[in-house]
Structure 1
Amino acid sequence: MPLPDFLQPRPDTPVEVFAPSAAALPLVCDSPHSGTAYPADFGHCVDMALLRRGEDTDVHKLWQRWPAHGATLLAATFPRTYIDVNRSADDIDPAQLATAWPSPLAPGVKTRQGLGLIWQRIVRDGQATPLYDRKLSVAEVQSRLRHYWQPYHAALQQAIDASVARFGGVWHLNLHSMPNDVYRRLGRTDATLADFVLGDRDGTTCAPEFIRLVGELLQAGGYSVAYNEPYKGVELIGRIGQPQLNRHSLQIEIRRPIYMDEDTRAPNAGFAPLQAHLDKVMQGVADYVRAQLPLAGAV
């Protein structure tokens, strides 16, 4: 059975960039995991319904009005299960490769769990299923890096650099969604997952007042908010966030059942109310950033 249009490959468009449609602010927002265009050379051995559980489906649509508030919005078109742009380029498990990688590798904790640069498994109801019935060649991983990972990072870095050059700083929001069974996966029964989890790598990637502002704006809509638990942020905010240089980076995770059906990936009744409230959050963030201008050193 052929894939529906929204799952069809888009090899010529690995990343979409939406420029500000209002007066530009030093605001850059990116959705690295909401892509649904599955590359033709994926070569996975699991069915699409299971594979899609790795998506942050429709996250970029929830936040699609960012450009109307002066922000640049980026969204990956490809799925994170193919290659995860929120991992470093050397975050690879050598055991998943058919031959040796030509340079040193640095697999992290998540990689050893099968969730590195190239995912090895997908989880549903506590059960892990391998994505492949084979080892991957060095050439195909390098191709994914060249055609998908590198263009995404280049586009994001260009947006960050442009804001810093023009305004003297930047506020970056890294947009995600999280499965409802996160704590079950972690083997914990003593915690309840919040509607939103904000991560700044334990206070190191943005000003404390910024993460608190975003949290308060979200809570104003009746949503619960947690900080750095169970998600702190990974590669992208760790690289971009340098608050001492007026470069603030914050990860936002949304609990999926408040806007979608996790099995079908379709929006549920909570989608429209959440999208409407996020527009108010965006306005509040834009007002805050506008109040910080001009920054020291701005041109």
Structure 2
Amino acid sequence: MEPFRFEPGPAPLLISMPHVGTHLPDVLARRMTDVARTVPDTDWHVDRLYDFAAALGANRLIATHSRYVIDLNRPPDGTVLYPGASNTELCPTTSFDDEPLWQPDQAPGAEEIRQRVESFWRPYHKQLADALAAIKSRFGMALLFDAHSIRSEVPRFFAGRLPDINLGTADGKSAPSELAARLIEAAGEADGYSSVLNGRFKGGYITRLYGKPAEGIAAVQLELSQITYMDEAPPFGFREDRAKAVRPHLRRILETMLEWAKETKGVSW
């Protein structure tokens, strides 16, 4: 199985979905714990949730393999992404609930991790970089939206319940402040949903690496609380009734990015 699916579109927007994949190669699954084989920490159904993306003309990059194979939103050298906080690794060894993912003596070593970087991480990031370069070449600028979701309560990473809509711009480093202000305003207009900018989730490796406002690339991460669109307990079912309510607000956030590009950068498509 290829490490990603890429769906091109005519707009200057790329939606990256690095944690939506659920596939575990058999050779790895046999070494994993029963918990790990259910891939509970997936950004479940994010591709289905953003089913309106094609209508906006967005490009979509969708990971196929589980983050337990390799985390595409971590540095390839294994550098800790959140110093001083609890972290999962490039090739995770524990779940969000701090349960082991690998049977005794079966966790990947340095050489296996290197091979996974070459087989899965680099192809995804090459496609991401190539797509952004193509967008920028055509429009003179590019928008990157890194789409994530997570359980509303994960004590390992944050206390209490997470806000529903968590926007991140790496504390203003990955996107212009004017764009960030418009996005949090759009999120704040979502009645019944809480929102925050650069709260617990400020943007991971993808947002930080590719967001270069001075070079015409604006990157934003959205970490959506899963309670807004699905059942958070196994078997992690999609809830169309909930999704139907939150989708218009997600669409409005993406439309705001595109409107900003038209108004401030003069792009059209």
**Aligned amino acid, residue 251 of structure 1:** Q
**Aligned amino acid, residue 189 of structure 2:** A
2:76 aligned partner: 89
1:38 aligned partner: 24
CA distance in 2, matches of 1:163, 1:275: 25
For this pair of structures, how many residues does the alignment match?
Answer: 262
TM-score by length of 1: 0.80
With over 3 angstroms needed to count, the CA separation of the structure-2 counterparts of 1:61 and 1:187, relative to structure 1, is closer
Identity %: 26
Q: Does residue 233 of the first structure (1) align with residue 233 of the second (2)?
A: no
Aligned-CA RMSD value: 2.4
Q: Does residue 166 of the first structure (1) align with residue 138 of the second (2)?
A: yes
Structure 2 gap segments, 5+ residues each: none
User: What is the CA-CA distance between 1:272 and the residue it aligns to?
Assistant: 2.1
1:117 aligned partner: 90
CA distance in 2, matches of 1:277, 1:107: 32
Among 256, 266, 274, which residue is 2:237 paired with?
266
User: What is the CA-CA distance between 1:254 and the residue it aligns to?
Assistant: 0.4
With over 3 angstroms needed to count, the CA separation of the structure-2 counterparts of 1:206 and 1:67, relative to structure 1, is same
- Greater C-alpha radius of gyration: 1
Structure 1 gap segments, 5+ residues each: 1-10, 92-105
User: What is the CA-CA distance between 1:71 and the residue it aligns to?
Assistant: 1.6
CA distance in 2, matches of 1:193, 1:77: 26
1:203 aligned partner: 172
CA distance in 1, matches of 2:181, 2:77: 33
The one-character-per-residue Cα deviations of 1:140-159 (angstroms, maximum 9, x if unpaired) are 32332122111100110111
Farther-moved stretch of structure 1 (228-237 vs 39-48): 39-48
Matches within 5 A, 1:1-299: 11=1, 13-20=2-9, 24-43=10-29, 44-48=31-35, 51-91=38-78, 106-109=79-82, 113=86, 115-124=88-97, 128-132=98-102, 133-134=104-105, 135-182=107-154, 184-186=155-157, 188=159, 192-222=161-191, 223-263=193-233, 264-268=235-239, 269-294=241-266
SS for the counterpart of 2:202 is: coil
TM-score by length of 2: 0.88
**Aligned amino acid, residue 238 of structure 2:** P
User: What is the CA-CA distance between 1:256 and the residue it aligns to?
Assistant: 0.7
With over 3 angstroms needed to count, the CA separation of the structure-2 counterparts of 1:249 and 1:217, relative to structure 1, is same
**Aligned amino acid, residue 212 of structure 1:** A
SS for the counterpart of 2:28 is: coil
The question of whether the paired residues in 2 share the 8 Å contact of 1:110 and 1:116 is answered with: no
CA distance in 1, matches of 2:246, 2:7: 21
**Aligned amino acid, residue 84 of structure 1:** D
With over 3 angstroms needed to count, the CA separation of the structure-2 counterparts of 1:198 and 1:109, relative to structure 1, is closer
With over 3 angstroms needed to count, the CA separation of the structure-2 counterparts of 1:294 and 1:280, relative to structure 1, is closer
**Aligned amino acid, residue 33 of structure 2:** V
1:100 aligned partner: none
The question of whether the paired residues in 2 share the 8 Å contact of 1:51 and 1:122 is answered with: no
The one-character-per-residue Cα deviations of 1:132-189 (angstroms, maximum 9, x if unpaired) are 122424443233212211110011011111111111111111110122113x324635
CA distance in 2, matches of 1:82, 1:262: 22
CA distance in 2, matches of 1:198, 1:283: 15
CA distance in 1, matches of 2:202, 2:34: 31
CA distance in 2, matches of 1:111, 1:41: 34
List structure 1 segments (4+ residues) > 6 angstroms apart after TM superposition. Answer: none
With over 3 angstroms needed to count, the CA separation of the structure-2 counterparts of 1:219 and 1:141, relative to structure 1, is same
With over 3 angstroms needed to count, the CA separation of the structure-2 counterparts of 1:107 and 1:206, relative to structure 1, is closer
